[in-house]
Structure 1
Amino acid sequence: MAFITLTTDFGRKDHFVSAVKGAIYTLLPEANIVDVSHEISPFNITETAYILKNAYKSFPKGTIHIIGVDSEMTPENKHIALLLDGHYFVCPDNGIMSMIASEINPTKVVEINIHDRIETSFSVLDVFVNVACHIARGGTLEVIGKPLSEITKMVELQPQIVSESKIIGSVIYIDNYGNVISNITKEMFNTVGKGRKFTLSAGRYNFKKVLSKYSDIVDFKLPINERNSAGSKLALFNSGNYLEIAIYKSNLQTVGGASSLLGLDYRSSVSVEFEKDTPA
């Protein structure tokens, strides 16, 4: 039986998550349900896309991902189901999938059209659950929707290459440690930079180096009292290959995080300017 994942902004206080799981088990008692996150900031589709884009690839092909963020159907927010990279997604057409599918085109997309058969005021509980369980039983997308030629594109928070030497991006996510993730990818950085020296500007600090991992900030050959330690600022490409600003061994309750110490928030500017014609 395929896995069904849940990614929502429901939180844990209310009954919504358990109600959705109960509905899945009612239709599909043998279902394997996995929570990706229920702590998405309310209606934050950029944060949703970042988390799920980095999570879905770890699941087996054929996994069905239910996305319950900004999911109320309106004339401008259809419900869709699609096949992408061997995975199924059941979600609103609010731009989330255009960010997840920025590097891979969907194999098939349909606009869900079973609403006339299901009375609902809670789309995730009723419509999305029914569609996910239909797919899990081996059902096809054509049965629950009509083909859709394109999905809504979210271009508002895409990084911009403003010259041959400069990228301007923005913060798209702040993690549990206060680390700040930008929308500038390693691929874009390398394509524009071509190995040149650079200045990375984020909040109140500039960086001249991007590390491969957090502990690279520490020179373990030095005596302990001479090393960089917890609280040191750094930039790196994270596991999702996004440019991240971090504090080594950060803790928002003690040493602070990059978001608090550097004054960075969601949508704050992050830019990289490369030196002209000076290979590193």
Structure 2
Amino acid sequence: MNKRVPVITLLTDFGLQDEYVGVMKGVILSINSGVQLVDITHALTRHDVVQAALVLKSTYSYFPTNAIHVIVVDPGVGGKRKVLCCKRGGHFFLAPDNGALSLVIQDGNVDELRAITNEAYFLKPVSHTFHGRDIFAPVAAHLSRGLDMSRLGQEIGLSDVVTLDLPAPFLSPRDALVGKILSIDAFGNLITNIDQETLMRFGPGQRLEDVVIMLGRSKIRGISTSYDSVKTGSPVAVFGSRKLLEIAVNQMDARAYFKAGVGQTITVKLPTVKGGASR
């Protein structure tokens, strides 16, 4: 049986107009030419660690075990923040200690966690502004060649790692589920922090088509199964591929349609039944 080719994924906010992504790949291939490189995206909003955390959570599990996931959204590059190597469920994660790993480690189920300090695996000299090239890329390449992560640096605890204070949906005194827009994708779809499991706990036995979703002064009745459940140009609510509630406009940009932004409040109201209770 052929040995599986090691996989390294890259997730950055670098864009493609500059040489940064290409140089990182060059460093990796110079150390291990037999690796398979996969670009998750390089179009994250600049410095948006929350978006990086969301994309990482929604993608890493689709890769084979022993994949190495490199996340470089690093507004604190060159400062005092740590560089992390985390192992979870057979996957390796390399990221700055700025919250990018928050959703990967939030349940505490981590196999190993280290601060990367062993400069033997860095390029020399190390730039103060491009750790993607000088630290993340070479460390990922060495891991892909079988380096034991214990050689990277001291083991640390979860309490030593920066985590994002992401808003959680909550039940309001008016019996509505209140959430926030966490992210907006390239299509302009508004991705919220309300997942399907939370909604089902909030209203067990309710039909999705009966809920009312409010965004500002706008109302959407029901949660549909697809964007084309409504006419072109009409608003629609769906649970997207991340299993999070999305507000979209069929074949249009919901951000522009609703004049919405990240952090805006969204409420989900269940229909009132006899006796005045919502459920």
Query: Could you say what secondary structure the match of 2:225 adopts?
Result: coil
Paired with 2:264 and 2:242, the residues of 1 have a C-alpha distance of 20
Partner of 1:54: 58
Partner of 1:213: 226
Q: Once the 2 structures are TM-superposed, how far is the Cα of residue 47 of structure 1 from its aligned partner? A: 1.0
Structure 1 residues 164, 101: CA separation in 2 closer, same or farther (over 3 Å shift)? farther
Aligned residue identity for 2:202:
V
Gaps of 5+ in 1: 218-227, 251-256
Query: Could you say what secondary structure the match of 1:147 adopts?
Result: coil
Q: Once the 2 structures are TM-superposed, how far is the Cα of residue 213 of structure 1 from its aligned partner? A: 2.2
More divergent stretch after superposition (1-10 vs 187-196) = 187-196
Partner of 1:220: none
Paired with 1:211 and 1:107, the residues of 2 have a C-alpha distance of 38
- Structure 2 counterpart of 1:272, from 268, 272, 278: 268
Structure 1 residues 61, 116: CA separation in 2 closer, same or farther (over 3 Å shift)? closer
Paired with 2:106 and 2:56, the residues of 1 have a C-alpha distance of 13
Partner of 1:25: 29
Q: Once the 2 structures are TM-superposed, how far is the Cα of residue 135 of structure 1 from its aligned partner? A: 1.4
Structure 1 residues 163, 56: CA separation in 2 closer, same or farther (over 3 Å shift)? farther
Q: Once the 2 structures are TM-superposed, how far is the Cα of residue 104 of structure 1 from its aligned partner? A: 6.5
Partner of 2:19: 15
CA contact (8 A) 2:68 2:94 kept: yes
Paired with 2:164 and 2:174, the residues of 1 have a C-alpha distance of 24
CA contact (8 A) 2:235 2:249 kept: yes
Partner of 2:235: 233
Query: Could you say what secondary structure the match of 2:56 adopts?
Result: helix
More divergent stretch after superposition (183-192 vs 12-21) = 183-192
CA contact (8 A) 1:233 1:247 kept: yes
Q: Once the 2 structures are TM-superposed, how far is the Cα of residue 12 of structure 1 from its aligned partner? A: 0.8
Paired with 1:145 and 1:163, the residues of 2 have a C-alpha distance of 49
CA contact (8 A) 1:203 1:263 kept: no
After superposition, residues 109-120 of structure 1 pair within 5 angstroms as 109-115=113-119, 118=122, 119-120=125-126
Cα distance per residue 1:63-100 (max 9 Å; x no partner): 1010010161533x211011123211100111111123
Q: Once the 2 structures are TM-superposed, how far is the Cα of residue 116 of structure 1 from its aligned partner? A: 7.6
- Structure 1 counterpart of 2:168, from 139, 145, 158: 158
TM superposition outliers: structure 1 runs of 4+ over 6 Å: none
Q: Which has the higher strand share?
A: 1
Paired with 1:67 and 1:186, the residues of 2 have a C-alpha distance of 27
- Structure 2 counterpart of 1:128, from 121, 136, 157: 136
Paired with 1:246 and 1:49, the residues of 2 have a C-alpha distance of 22
Structure 1 residues 206, 243: CA separation in 2 closer, same or farther (over 3 Å shift)? same
Aligned residue identity for 1:245:
I
Partner of 1:4: 8
CA contact (8 A) 1:169 1:270 kept: yes
User: Over aligned residues, Cα RMSD in angstroms?
Assistant: 2.1
After superposition, residues 137-176 of structure 1 pair within 5 angstroms as 137-150=145-158, 151-162=161-172, 165-176=175-186
Alignment size in residue pairs:
261
Paired with 1:212 and 1:86, the residues of 2 have a C-alpha distance of 33
Partner of 2:245: 243
Q: Provide TM-score, normalisation by structure 2.
A: 0.86
CA contact (8 A) 1:84 1:104 kept: no
